[in-house]
Structure 1
Amino acid sequence: MFQHLFGVIYHPKAQWEEIREEKYTWVDCYKNDLVWLAAIPPLCMFIGATQMGWSVGGGEYIKMTLASALPISVAFYFALLTGVYVMAKSVHWMEQTYGADAGFDRCMVLTTYTSTPLFIAGFAGLWPALWFVVFAGLLAMTYTIYLLYNGVETVMDIPEEQAFMFGTSILTVGLVVLVGMIVTSTVLWGMGMMPVFTQ
């Protein structure tokens, strides 16, 4: 499956065709890919925030304490795993509206491979300068959107016009899930899981 992950990035159209023919389950997506991919952003940000420190606007670098960064990183990891599942469930819930009948497993496969650039962009956390992280995130988001529109038609096996509308609906749900994760983070911060910085 790692071959597919990088194949989707380098030659997506041909790779989506191969992916559609293979019978991956949602469990395969988690155990072979997601448990590893979802670890990249929290692990890199943990290392970057505690060893390098955050810098806003090219100013002084401020490091987080290990004690505060660890629970935030663990929560971030499980939030990513949950977010992918929620997205796949949403795709599965919407699929019949757009004439698809792919099943939950294929919806999870589409969600997993589409989100690959976002996970890989997590490496930017090793050098947590705000402008660099934002730039890497925007690049990853752009390519994720490209992969989504490129893959929906093939993986879901629906006409191009419906695939475009389906892809737009998936993108909208993704933004809602992102906002939900931000709100959850705010709630957790209010409950005491706040970053603590070293002097």
Structure 2
Amino acid sequence: MILSHFWGLIFHPEEEWSSIREHPPGIIRLYLGQVIWLAALPAICTYLGTTQNGWTLPGSDQVIKLTETSAAYMAFFAWLAILAGVAVMGAFIHWMAETFGSKVTLAQALAFSCYAAAPLFLAGLCGLYPSIWLTIVAGTIAASCSAWMLYSGLPTFMQIPKEQGFVYASSVLCIGLVVLVSIMITTVIFWGIGIGPEYIQSH
């Protein structure tokens, strides 16, 4: 379902956002039918890429991989972090709606959060081939696309003026950055208690 909405959001965003607002999936259906699978995409692809393909450092011919156990732990926690991130963003969008004179349900807010993040989910496919440059390029494109969907879609979805939508979207973006930093700090904490990457080097 999300892919059909995704293409609609690219080619006729106003109509598609209005359709999502009018017919949002329920929270349970959204999570069980879409979010858990989309969140698993980057986690599984990165697991496969870091354990099967590996990567090389500049000036070295050594292939570096992660052990399957440590990669599985990291993929699992990344999956949980993405699920939590979507929930936090949806809850914030819902909480802020009344401030900007909009009335949406939590299910509608979570749906917006999920669909706006779709490019970031799809960028997770690049995890199959671990490369810092590929990650930077794909991440930049995906983040730009999500930001465009956020700024262009929020006024339509919330049925508010574009001027208010810009401020609203900027607030959502700031919270997204806070969530990202929180995930990074949590990752460092887990590494500190021993739940971190274990490397294998080979020629």
> TM-score per shorter chain, which class?
over 0.9
Which 10-residue stretch deviates more, 140-149 or 12-21?
A: 12-21
> Deviation of residue 58 (structure 1)?
7.1
Answer yes or no: is 1:29 the counterpart of 2:30.
Answer: yes
> Deviation of residue 20 (structure 1)?
1.7
Distance 1:159 1:56, change over 3 A: farther
Gaps in structure 1 of 5+ consecutive residues: none
Residue in 2 that maps onto 1:135:
137
- 1:65-91, Cα deviation, whole Å (9 max, x unpaired): 111111111111111001100111111
Contact 1:57 1:131 in 2 (8 A): no
Distance in structure 1 (CA, Å) of the matches to 2:133 and 2:31: 31
Find the partner of 1:187 among 185, 189, 194. 189
User: Of Structure 1 and Structure 2, which has the larger fraction of its residues in strand?
Assistant: 2
Report the residue type matching 2:36 in the other structure. Answer: V
**Number of residue pairs aligned between Structure 1 and Structure 2:** 199
Distance in structure 1 (CA, Å) of the matches to 2:187 and 2:171: 25
Contact 2:24 2:111 in 1 (8 A): no
Residue in 1 that maps onto 2:90:
88
Which 10-residue stretch deviates more, 154-163 or 7-16?
A: 7-16
The residue correspondences of 1:73-152 to structure 2 (distance < 5 A) are 73-152=75-154
> Deviation of residue 9 (structure 1)?
3.6
Distance in structure 2 (CA, Å) of the matches to 1:35 and 1:141: 20
Gaps in structure 2 of 5+ consecutive residues: none
> Deviation of residue 10 (structure 1)?
4.1
Which 10-residue stretch deviates more, 23-32 or 146-155?
A: 23-32
- 1:105-158, Cα deviation, whole Å (9 max, x unpaired): 111011000000000000010111111011101100000000001211111111
Report the residue type matching 2:142 in the other structure. Answer: A
- 1:39-98, Cα deviation, whole Å (9 max, x unpaired): 110100000000111334475431111111111111111110011001111111111111
> Deviation of residue 180 (structure 1)?
0.4
- Per the alignment, in what secondary structure is the counterpart of residue 199 of structure 2? coil
TM-score normalised by L of structure 1: 0.94
Alignment RMSD (CA, Å):
1.4
Residue in 2 that maps onto 1:48:
49
TM-score normalised by L of structure 2: 0.93
